Structure 1
Amino acid sequence: MGFEQGRLPNATDVALAATVAAVLLAGALATPVMRPLDHAAVLVGSLALVAWRWSPLLALAVSTVCMLFYAGSATPGPPAAFPVLISVFASVRAGHRVLASAAAVVFLGGTLAAQLAAPAAKSPQEIVQGTTLLLGWFIAAGVTATVTKHRQAYLRQAEARAAEAERTREEVARRRAGEERLRIARELHDSLTHSISVIKVQAGVAVHLARKRGEEVPAALLAIQEASGDAIRELRATLEVLRDSDGEPPGSGLDRLDDLVDRARSTGLPATVTITGEQQSLPTDVDRAAYRIVQEALTNVGRHAGQASALVRIDYRPDELVVQVDDDGHAHPDRPPVPGVGLLGMRERVTALGGRLRAEPRPEGGFTIRAELPVKNPS
C-alpha cells in the first residue's frame, strides 16, 4: 500500500521534514498552553514526512493522527495542517485519492470540532473563514497532485512511444537489410556462380584432354582449375552469410595458407613463407582477415610488381598477429602506387579489428604490406 520498493528517504525528504518540524515547534513554543505531549505530536507528525515519497500512506496516517491531536489540544490554527497537506499531496499522486480525501475530511472535521469546543472559542465567522481556508488548501493539494500524476503518466507514455518507434525503425531497417542481402545473394548465385562454374568445367575438360593425349598440362591451366574451385567454395560461403545474418560459416583462414601460396607459385610467382612465434588458435575474424590480407597482397604482386618474388611473414605474438608481405618489384618511394580497391578493403578489415596497417614502397625497392592485428582469445 503506497510503499515504493527500493526507495529510501533522501536528503531532500529529511530537509523537508526538519523544516516543517522547526516551523511548527517554533510556533508551539510561543503557545503557553502547550504540553510535552503536544510537542511530541508536532515532532512525530512533522518527521513522518521523511516517508512522504516512498510510503505516502504511512506519512498520511502518522501526520493526520499527530496533527489532529495537536490541533485538538492547542488549536494552533492553519499551520498545523502543513504535514497533513503534504501527505495528502503524496497520497493522491500515488493513486490513493479515497484515503487522502478521508484523511482530509477527518482532519478538517476534527479541527472544526476542536475550535467550537475550545473555552476561548473564536467567533463563528472566524471559524468558518479558517475552515474554508483549510478546505481550499486541501483541494489545491489534491488538484496539484492529480495534475502531477497525469503529467508523469504522460511522460512515461511518451517515452514508451518513443522507444517503440525506435524499435520499429530498427526492425524495419533489419528487414530491409535482410531483403537486400537476399537480393544480392540471388544476383551472385545467378550470375557469378554460373560464370565461375563454367570456367572450372572448361579448365577441367582442357586438363582431361591434355592428359588423354599424353601432353604436359600447363601449370597455369592447373592453377585456373584450382582457383576456380576455391572461388566457388568461398562464394558459396559468402552466399550462406548473406542468407543467414545470425551466423557466419567458416571461411578461409591461415590453415589454408599453404594452398594459397602454392597457387601463387603455380602462376609463376616465387613466394616463400616464414612463420615465427608460437602458433595459437586465432579468433575467426582475425584468422580470416590475415588470410585475406595475404591473398590480396600476393594478387597485387602478381598484377603490378612484374618479375618479382614475394616473402610472406606470419609472426604469432602473445597479444597480436603480425602479417607482412614484401616483394622486390618495381615500386619505389619516389613513385608510390595509387591505392586501389584491394588496399582499401585491406585497410577496412584491419581497422574494423582495431589493428594497424602499413602499405608503402620499401626504401630498397619493392612494396611492403604489414598488418598488426590484436588477438583477444576468449579465456
Structure 2
Amino acid sequence: MPELSTLVRRLTPVADPALVLIVLLLSLLPLVTSRGAVPAWAYVLVVAECLPLTFRRRWPLIVISVSGVLAVIYGVAPLPDPAVPYAPLVGIYSAAAHSGRLGANVAGVISAIAITGSLLLDPTATLDHGLVLLAISATAWLLGDGARRRREVARTQTERADHLERTRAAEAAAAVADERNRIAREMHDVIAHHLSMMVVQAEAGPVVVASDPGRATAAFDAISAAGKQALTEMRRLLGVLKDGETAPLRPQPGVADLAELVDGVRSAGIDVRMTSTGPRQPLPAAVDLSVYRLVQEALTNCVRHGEPTRVDVNLVFEPRELSVTVADDGVGAAKTPHTGGHGLVAMRERVTLIGGTLAAGPRADRGWAVRAVLPLERS
C-alpha cells in the first residue's frame, strides 16, 4: 500500500492532462466518424468544452459552469451527439469532489437544471434519454461527493492523530520536567545536608586535634562517611538522567531512616532529640520520603544558620495526618532568616505537592521552628 500511494503521488501531475486528452478524444469521436459535413466551429466547441478540465481541481465550479454551458450549446446545435457528455460528467464529479459541501450541492443543482434545460430546448430529445442522462449525472455527482467525504474523514483522522501525537509529546515533556524538578529538589537536600555536616566536622577537627585526638579522628571519619553517603545518593539520583543506565535499586529514605540522620547531626556536636507519639502506620511512599527530606532540610538549616545547642524533632501520628515539627534554640532567625533561601521554598513545594501545609518562622523566645502537616489519605 505505501508503494501504491507513492506511485499515485508521482502520477498526479500528469493525471489531469491525460484525463483531458482521453475526454477530448472521446468527445471528438462522433465528429470524426460522422458521415456528414461537420463545421470547423464544432471542433473548436468540443476543444473549448474539454480544455477547462485541466483546472478541475483548482477551480471546480468555474470548470463545471464553462463546460456545462458549452455542452448545452453543443447539444442544442445540429451536431452528432456523443454517447454521453463526457466533459460535463467529469466536471460534475470534480465539482462534487473538490469543492466544499456547499459548492458540491450548488454544482449538483446547477447540473440538474442545465441538463433539464438542454433536453427541453432539444426537439429531438426523448424522455428515456433524459432520464438516462440525469441518472448518469447523479452517479457522477455521488461518486465525487463520496470521494470528498472520504478525504474529509482522512483529513480529520490525520489532524486527530497529529493532535494526539502533540499531546503525548507535551505530556512526555511535562513528565521529564517534573522528574528533573524532583531530582533537583533531591539533589539540593542531599548536597546541602551532607556538605553542612562536613563543614561543621571539618571546623571542629582542627580545634580538638591536639587536646582530644580521638574526637578529631571521629570528626574526620564523620566527614568521610558523609562524603561517601552524599556521593552514593548523587549517583542514584543522576543515574536516571543518563540514557541506557539504570540507577541502583536502593530504597528511598523514609521515617525509618530518621534515627541515622539524627545520629549524623548529633555527631557534629548538636544535641538532637527525636520523639514520636501516636501509633505508627504504613505511610504512602511520597509522605515517607517527604518527612525524611523535610527533617533533613530543617536540620541542615539549623546547622548552617542557627548555631543551636539543641534541636527537637517531633513526629505526631494521627489517623489521617502526620505532624512533623523541627525546632531549635539557635540564633538563625536573627542572623540569616531562613525565609529567603531555596531550602524553605523546596520544602514548601514538596509538602504542597502531597496536599500538606507548612509553617516556618522564629519561635517566641529563641530559635526557629518548622512545622508541617501531611495528609495520610487523599480525598
TM-score normalised by the chain length of structure 2: 0.50
TM-score normalised by the chain length of structure 1: 0.50
